[in-house]
Chains A and B, each alone.
Chain A
Amino acid sequence: MNSMHGSDDQELDALFRAYHDACPVPEAGANFMPNLWARIESRQRSTFSFRHMANALTTAAVAASLALGIYMSIPRSSAFDNNQTYVEELAAANTPDTMDLVNPATLDLPADRPSR
């Protein structure tokens, strides 16, 4: 069995050696170099246009971010300020001439009046 395996090993080695000689090595065609340079230039062009597009997209994204940042930083002239509670908003809306419905009623007494 082992000797059979050994002979298979040797035959396979011989087959691999024969394969080396059996593969024809094609001669490079006359257009090998011109075609190669054409492929290089084509790849360079596509890489350039991809980079160009990527740069344009990056610039557009930066510009959009800046515009959004500026827009968000502008104070809103909203009638209702979100930071205030409803009660505070209501109190602020009360003018002196309207009745105070929110605060407890107080009675102003003259300070110099002697207490009994």
Chain B
Amino acid sequence: MLVDFELIRRAQKSDAAAFNEIVLAYRKRILGTIARLIARPEDVEDVAQEVFLRLYFSLDQLRTAEVFEPWLYRLTVNAAYDYLRKQRRRQEFRMSDLSEQQVMLADATAGGKAEKEDIHRKKVRESVDSLLGAVSEADRVLLLLKEVEGLSLKELEKVYKVNENALKVRLFRARQRVLKAFGSAKKGAAG
């Protein structure tokens, strides 16, 4: 926990200063999670504000301060999911949006190590983004929370309020679809 329970209880009683402190404590973590869930840096701040807005108006529904973090994660997941649903960005399964020509051109003009790393990072982001096009927005978020954010099944159980076995089945199916897309993309790149 990044904040103590007392601070959460104060925020629940409409203490604006306490709410400010909570936002400042969790802002960086939430921005990071959203950045990885939606993969659109320009919209990360907007979605994060939506998360804290929802937090402000739902704090009174929080039964105990002990479950604050899963609660905040749940709000984050829902806001990211709503954003993705609005975007309805469904990409084709391909390893990268950058053509070889673009990469070579960028390499030639950039030359430096930092720029090459930037290009590599961009390719990784686009690859994962494309692969996740094989699953629904809801499964994309679930898979990223497990595989990228590193949440355990127990933590996911608290976030989703679903039993562990149902989550395991859903995760397995989603991962199988992504694996299939990964195999196809590899074959496509080799052939």
Contacts and interface: CB of A to CB of B under 8 A. Distances in A.
B53 A35 contact: no
Interface string B98-132: 00000000000000000000001110110110010
B179 A12 contact: yes
Given A25-B31, A26-B31, A19 B182 contact: no
Given A8-B182, A25-B28, A32-B49, A19 B35 contact: no
Nearest to A11: B182
Contacts of B7: none
Interface residues of A, number: 28
Contacts of A76: none
A100 B32 CA distance: 100
Contacts of A89: none
Given A15-B128, A24-B35, 8 more contacts: A11-B182, A16-B128, A16-B148, A20-B149, A21-B121, A25-B31, A26-B35, A33-B24
Instruction: Report the interface size class on chain B.
Output: 35 or more
Q: Is the interface of B mostly helix, strand, loop or mixed?
A: helix
A33 B23 contact: yes
B49 A39 contact: yes
A40 B52 CA distance: 9
A5 B35 CA distance: 30
B68 interface: no
Nearest to B132: A19
A88 interface: no
Contact of B179 (A8, A18, A21, A26): A8
